[in-house]
Structure 1
Amino acid sequence: MSDISLIGAFLGGLLSFLSPCVLPIVPGYLSYLSGVGASQKETKGFNFPVFLSALLFVMGFSIAFTLMGAGATLLGQSFRDYQDLVVKVGGGVVVFFGLHFAGVFLRKNFLMELFGVAALFLSLYFLKVISQETLFTLLGIVGVVFFLYSFSLHEVLYRQMRVEVKGSTSFVGAFLMGLLFAFGWSPCIGPVLGTILLYASQQETALKGASLLFFYSLGLGIPFVVGGAFLSIFLEFIKKFSRFFHAVEVIGGLLLVLLGYLLASGKLAEISTLLGA
């Protein structure tokens, strides 16, 4: 595993944080965790109570995600004899995540468009633009996307977790909520997290898998902690950044689709080898 993989995992965490499903409700989480009310949100400068609550919250989900990474590697090793199949199906799942992240499943004629894409791939093959191997890889991805869509997995992913901001919790409670966050916020962070877990399942050791998820946690957690430390500035940032939410969805979704294809085709492993993985 190269440093590029760890950087990619970190950027994946940052992408999760900046997504329109996560970023707008972070202030609500911070308020609930620390008990800081609306009037206190305007406090300028360093806000220690919110910072400490956010730090403990991030520690909670970082531990959970890191253990998930190690577990994914161990699980992947148990299916080592079927690695090629797991990688190809996993690539299709990552493409599905990417389409979800980009909001493509909200289109009314998605299935018609999906079949149209499959027909396009066939045409490219008959025109000898792509090889038979590439055709099978692309049609396999289409098949996985169709299968998951048919079972309405996209509807499950679109269910967002809502947070009611009332009361407060203790510092211990903030840590425990972080642990629960790792398992309960999958509708928001599932596409990127699932992609990294799939990649972690292909690592040689549990330590490498855990490292990937630890760096993902850093990408998701560092902005969270900084936002808690400087809450008033963070609220202003959210207002200004909200105009870019759609761009984050589209670009992030396209990157996941590309990553899924590279994974399914085996090119991701080749790139990792060239980079000294």
Structure 2
Amino acid sequence: MSLYLLSFLAGIVSFVSPCIIPMLSGYFTFITGLSLKELRNLPDNKELKKEIFLKTLMFVLAFTIIFTLAGGAAGAFSKLLKEYKQVLNFIGGAAVILLALNILGLIGKKGPDHCKIPGAEGKGKASYLKAFGIGIVFAVACSHCIGPVLYSILIMAGSLGSISSGMTVMFFFSTGLAIPYLLASLYMDKIIKAIHRTWQVEKTVNLVLGLIMLGMGVLIMLDKFTLLTAFTAKLLPFKLPIGM
């Protein structure tokens, strides 16, 4: 349960990545065919808002499918090599630790501050199918935008050694990332202002997330991940109808 919850929260945190805002503005411009100035002064048009929401739903559905399948692939790979579980746990844990250090800003260079989605330069309003296609492109071509968090969760999904668990972990991550997108489609002006306020505490968010990832990386490396799940289960005042 603890990893599912962390995956969900990591998805939400990924949305406030510094490169998401430029991409978000370009995305809404693309699917509506309106300029940023027109979007900022958007009238209370229920039909247009419904259209934006449904197209965004197609967008998030696409990257949810890709990320969930990636989680299953990671679990399948680990399952096939279960006789090398200790080695894989050590390598995977070490990778999560390195990614955590990157989130903490201790190693590596700062990632790109924007993501330009290929195919979103064209003029005119995008169809529902194109919105779905852009979601696939985002998952494949723009994953570097949320790289450290995404790859950490993906590695942890693979460390479970189960296709279903790997897919579930990445589904929760995708859901956490999808919810802010859907909210943004309904309240574009307000959500963007809220994200800018979040940037003011970006270092604190990265510190907390980085330390959590660091601890999980150590537990994976030592094959002691069950200690965290057991500890979290004691802290939660309720139990969800899912495993872990």
Q: TM > 0.5 between the two?
A: yes
Matching residue of 1:73: 75
1:173 CA displacement: 0.7
Partner of 1:182: 139
1:85 counterpart residue number? 87
Q: 1:169-207 deviations in whole A, cap 9, x for unaligned?
A: 222111011112111122222211212211221335322
2:19 alignment partner AA: C
- Note closer, same or farther for the CA distance 1:234–1:44 as it changes in structure 2 (3 Å cut): farther
Do the aligned residues in 2 keep the contact of 1:161 with 1:187 (CA within 8 Å)? no
Mapped to 2, the partners of 1:76 and 1:273 lie a distance apart of: 23
- % of aligned pairs identical? 27
Contact 2:23 2:114 in 1 (8 A): no
**Aligned mates of 2:24, 2:216 — CA distance in 1:** 28
- Kindly name which structure, 1 or 2, has the bigger radius of gyration based on alpha carbons: 1
Q: TM-score, normalised by structure 2?
A: 0.83
1:163 is matched with 116
Instruction: Choose which of 197, 202, 206 in structure 1 pairs with 2:159.
Output: 202
Q: Does the aligned pair in 2 maintain the 1:161–1:185 contact within 8 Å?
A: no
Once the two structures are superposed, residues 104-132 of structure 1 have per-residue CA deviations (whole angstroms, 9 ceiling, x without a partner) of 22xxxxxxxxxxxxxxxxxxxxxxxxxxx
Residues of 2 paired with 1:16 and 1:239: CA distance? Answer: 14
Q: Deviations over 1:237-259 (max 9, x none)?
A: 23322212222222222222222
Summarize the alignment of residues 2-151 of structure 1 with structure 2, pairs less than 5 Å apart.
3-23=1-21, 25-38=23-36, 39-43=38-42, 47-105=49-107
Instruction: Report if aligned partners of 1:57, 1:175 keep a CA contact under 8 Å in 2.
Output: yes
Structure 1 residue matching 2:126: 3-state secondary structure? coil
Partner of residue 238, structure 1: 195
List gaps (5 residues or longer) in structure 2.
234-242
Contact 1:88 1:264 in 2 (8 A): yes
Rounded to whole Å, the distance in 2 between the matches of 1:273 and 1:160 is 38
> Amino acid of the residue matched to residue 39 of structure 2?
Q
**CA RMSD, 1 decimal:** 2.3
Once the two structures are TM-superposed, the CA of residue 44 in structure 1 deviates from its matched residue by 5.9
Deviation by residue 1:96-154 (Cα, 9 ceiling, x = unmatched):
1111122222xxxxxxxxxxxxxxxxxxxxxxxxxxxxxxxxxxxxxxxxxxxxxxxx4
**Contact 2:100–2:213 (CA<8 Å) still a contact in 1?**
yes
Q: Look up the SS of the partner of 2:201 in the other structure.
A: helix
Output the amino acid matched with 1:37: S
- Separation in structure 2 between the aligned mates of residue 80 and residue 56 of structure 1, nearest angstrom: 36
Letter in 2 for 1:79: L
CA positional deviation for 1:14: 0.9
Q: Which runs of 5+ in 1 are unaligned?
A: 106-153
Counterpart selection for 1:220 from 177, 181, 192: 177
TM-score normalised by L of structure 1: 0.73
User: Of Structure 1 and Structure 2, which has the larger fraction of its residues in helix?
Assistant: 1
Alpha-carbon distance in structure 2 between the residues aligned to 1:54 and 1:73: 29
| CA displacement, residues 218-268 of structure 1 (integer Å, 9 cap, x when unaligned) | 000011111111112122223322212222222222222222112112232
Matched residues in 1 for 2:104 and 2:24: separation? 21
Distance in structure 1 (CA, Å) of the matches to 2:165 and 2:148: 21
2:53 partner amino acid: F
Please state whether the residue corresponding to 2:15 is helix, strand or coil.
helix
